[in-house]
């Protein structure tokens, strides 16, 4: 399946725990003031790749802990992101995703494709980047309104935040 993306970072250490493959999709309608990837907003820019090729690269890297879907906005390319998430999960890799939507807004869409992608995500970093709430002290997020949601523990109504297993060691 084809995906339009802004770029890929193969050994990221800032987009989730461990060495991760960060896929920055192209296209974002949020246009957050102060976004660190403003060139990823135009949906017609960037370049195209095949999700199978990206998954094959992830599978061949034994040090890769997982994939991180970022952007741009992954939920504006749901089906290719779903293919990437399922491919990563098939190889035992974790899936993180950054979105400018809140989890509540995503669920309110009542879209089965959105629900399917949410089901494949281990940690969802949700909410728009807010420059007035920006902090360089935050782990894996840019502003303090954004939540790191443990999607495997979060139920249909309650939200469970992700806890870093290395935090208190």
Domain positions in the chain: 2-150
Q: Which two tokens stand for residue 30?
A: 């949020």
- pLDDT above 90 as % of the chain: 93
Does 168 have pLDDT greater than 80? no
Contact yes or no for 142/150 (Cβ under 8 A)? no
Give 38-91 pLDDT, tens digit per residue.
Answer: 999 999 999 999 999 999 999 999 999 999 999 999 999 999 999 999 999 999
Report the mean per-residue pLDDT for the chain: 95
pLDDT of 169 > 60? The answer is no
Asked if residue 102 has pLDDT above 80, the reply is yes
- The whole-model pTM stands at 0.95
Report which DSSP code applies to 165: T
Residue 128 CB partners (closer than 8 Å, separation 6+): 30, 32, 100, 143, 145, 146
CATH no., domain 2-150: 3.20.20.70
């Amino acid at each position: 399946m084809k995906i339009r993306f802004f770029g890929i970072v193969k050994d990221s250490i800032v987009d989730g725990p461990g060495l991760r493959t960060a896929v920055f999709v192209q296209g974002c309608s949020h246009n957050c003031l102060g976004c660190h990837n403003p060139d990823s907003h135009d949906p017609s820019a960037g370049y195209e790749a095949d999700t199978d090729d990206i998954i094959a690269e992830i599978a061949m890297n034994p040090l890769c802990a997982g994939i991180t879907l970022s952007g741009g906005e992954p939920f504006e390319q749901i089906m290719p992101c779903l293919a990437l998430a399922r491919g990563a999960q098939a190889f035992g890799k974790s899936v993180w995703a950054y979105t400018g939507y809140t989890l509540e807004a995503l669920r309110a869409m009542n879209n089965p494709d959105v629900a399917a992608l949410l089901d494949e995500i281990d940690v969802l970093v949700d909410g728009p980047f807010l420059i007035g709430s920006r902090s360089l002290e935050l782990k894996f997020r840019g502003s303090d309104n954004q939540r790191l949601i443990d999607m495997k523990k979060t139920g249909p109504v309650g939200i469970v935040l992700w806890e870093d297993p290395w935090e208190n060691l």
